[in-house]
């Protein structure tokens, strides 16, 4: 039976390693620039930018993690829970760790009065899509993520303001 608990500062190295493995799986390792110090600051600042849960085996071996934070829905008039990353190491998949992490997150969302619990999934990750549908998640086909990284943010922020 998986144990799910909030991450502690001692878990930062494991979570950072899992983030690297997730990035490799998604073919995005070149985009990972976060250091363990960055992660520690995000999770344990006052207030924290994000929170994390760790999944442990019965021998207290880290098996996976979930990193999440709150967003806000103007339509619902309430905050939501946004799952940024969910990762279970390959040797621990199909053993209930992913379901245990998602169940704990759903309980956190419920306890905190969240109107929504949301995350993204890559369109080619058929195993994840099947799993998410199986637990009752809706895959929203009409929505696309819009993203700006540092270069685009700088460019837009540096553009002339039309209405000062």
Residues assigned a catalytic role: 132
Q: How far is CA 115 from CA 71, 86, 109, 158, in A?
A: 10, 20, 8, 36
Which DSSP symbol is given to 148?
Answer: -
Q: List the structure tokens of 45.
A: 């600042």
Q: How far apart are CA 142 and CA 97, in angstroms?
A: 30
Burial 134-149 (b: 16+ CB within 10 A, else e): eeebeeeeeeeeeeee
CA distances from 138 to 58, 65, 71, 145, 159 (A): 32, 22, 18, 16, 38
């Amino acid at each position: 039976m998986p144990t799910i608990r909030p991450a502690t500062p001692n878990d930062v190295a494991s979570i950072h390693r899992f983030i690297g493995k997730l990035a490799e799986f998604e073919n995005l390792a070149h985009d990972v620039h976060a250091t363990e110090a960055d992660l520690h600051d995000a999770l344990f600042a006052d207030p924290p930018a994000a929170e994390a849960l760790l999944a442990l085996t019965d021998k207290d071996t880290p098996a996976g993690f979930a990193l999440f934070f709150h967003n806000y829905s103007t339509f619902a008039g309430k905050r939501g829970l946004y799952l940024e990353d969910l990762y279970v190491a390959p040797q621990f998949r199909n053993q209930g760790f992913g379901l245990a992490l998602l169940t704990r997150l759903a309980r956190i969302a419920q306890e905190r009065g969240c109107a929504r619990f949301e995350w993204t999934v890559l369109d080619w990750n058929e195993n994840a899509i099947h799993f998410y549908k199986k637990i009752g998640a809706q895959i929203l086909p009409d929505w696309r993520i819009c993203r700006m990284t540092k270069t685009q943010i700088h460019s837009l922020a540096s553009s002339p303001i039309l209405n000062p």
